[in-house]
Amino acid sequence: MKKAIIILSAVLMAGSQYSCKKQLDELPKDALVQGNTIVNQQTANIALNGVYYRFANASQTNTNWTNNQVNTAILAGVLDDGRNTLNEASNVLGRTNFNNDWGRYYSLVNAANGIIDQVTALSGTLFSNGRKEQILAEARFMRAFAIFKVLTLMGQWFDINSSYGALLHDKFLTSTTYARARSDVKSSYQFILSDLDYAVENAATSGSNVYVTKWAAMALKMRVLLARGQQEDYAQCAAIGNNVISSSGYVLEPNTRDIFYVKGLSSKEVILGVTPQANQGAYYYNTSGVYVRRNFFYVATTLLKDLLANDPRQQWYIGNANGDKAGTFYFIKYVQSTLTTTQLSEVAYAIRLSEVYLMTAEATIRSGGSLAVAKGLIHAVQAGAGITATDNTTSYLAVEQANTADDLLLQGYYEYVKSFAGEDDQYYFALLRFPLATVTTLRPTIKNKEQYIYPVPRSEFVNNPLIGAQNPGYTQ
């Protein structure tokens, strides 16, 4: 039976450990055609390139993780628009671009579904040993990653009984098969976890950290379990984390600063990253340029600066004061104090081992496990920042003196923010996993849970009449 499928250029970033390592140096030339375009391992690898291309949010000139680095950082209060004059208590949604992410992530879902549909139908004899299953594992990881993003940004992920879940597209879409109702939250989690379980079972156990491995799938599964937040999820999450820490071969960087200033993707801590295009560091509209461009740029806030008081990271996160907006500072985690974009500053980090440590600590606490074990995991992350028992710093002592589960969860949250400000968005969701009263105390602009999620774009209601109701608190 003939199918419609996206044709993807062979000159994209290599789609697996089995193909040559190239830069993402050419835009895919997409076209809908009739016929089965994936016919063997070679064409499957070529098509998988396009899935990674969408994961990187790439164009001919650059990969673009600005939304990942900036949007939830603004909502968490650690970054801000460098020239915006709105009061902090005003609606911060207008300073983010979440509506753009709906299309971005469903484009990734559809590209992954194109791979899954066609590769599943092929005989295993057309692939080298295990490669068919690895390709499917990588594609299913990407589908899970994208749907989980949509669920957490625009679905009531925090309520397992809510009807406001994600659109669960499990087949490649055409204009005649697009319309679908969104699923409930429970079904959304089941769908995502099914994909990740397949990826854990079938993805490669080693390889370049710009490709999906079983360890990346395990780390993403930990995020999903913490978000779902059922009591049995916490013990499972802690067990997965301990497995990744003990068996994956990834190690914490002795000096975390070196990841961003020296090593980039060569660091043994990076589980999954995004490599920039050739010459991207010199491209004006690149990702790290948003921290230095005077016409449109993002800066660190006083909240972040104060949180990093007496913390060595303040020296390489917080630059000079921003003269355009009082109480803000240049954010130099990527661009360094020279405020110069480079190939290194353009590397994006999707998953690092430090997050696995902190998620394992959080899950251990929430499952009723040993606070001493959780403290050790948090201290291991602090050590990379230069915070150790011999220094006897305020941050170290605050963890040591947290003798209740609630107190230690709070210290773990602070370490999420300090470690991952300006990276992907998981520290923001670590905030939202607290009870609402705690969330409001830590982030006074958040008054109710309707603010936890954002509206489904109006265009979706125009193009998909079956989708259902808009999220509570918003109008179409």
Per-residue pLDDT tens over the stretch 243-262: 999 999 999 999 999 999 99
Low-confidence stretches of the chain (pLDDT < 70) are 1-36, 84-97, 392
Amino acid 10: pLDDT? 27
Neighbouring residues of 401: CB distance < 8 A, sequence distance ≥ 6: none
Gap between the Cα atoms of 140 and 148, Å rounded: 12
CA 240 to centroid of chain Cα atoms: 18
8 Å CB contact between 20 and 49: no
Structure confidence by residue, pLDDT tens digits, 438-471: 999 999 999 999 999 999 999 999 999 999 999 9
8 Å CB contact between 55 and 81: no
Amino acid 476: pLDDT? 73
Amino acid 9: pLDDT? 31
- Residue 22 exposed, middle or buried by CB count within 10 Å (0-12, 13-18, 19+): middle
Amino acid 84: pLDDT? 67
Amino acid 296: pLDDT? 75
Amino acid 94: pLDDT? 56
For residue 444, list its beta bridge partners: none
Question: Torsions phi, psi of 202, nearest 5?
Answer: -120, -15
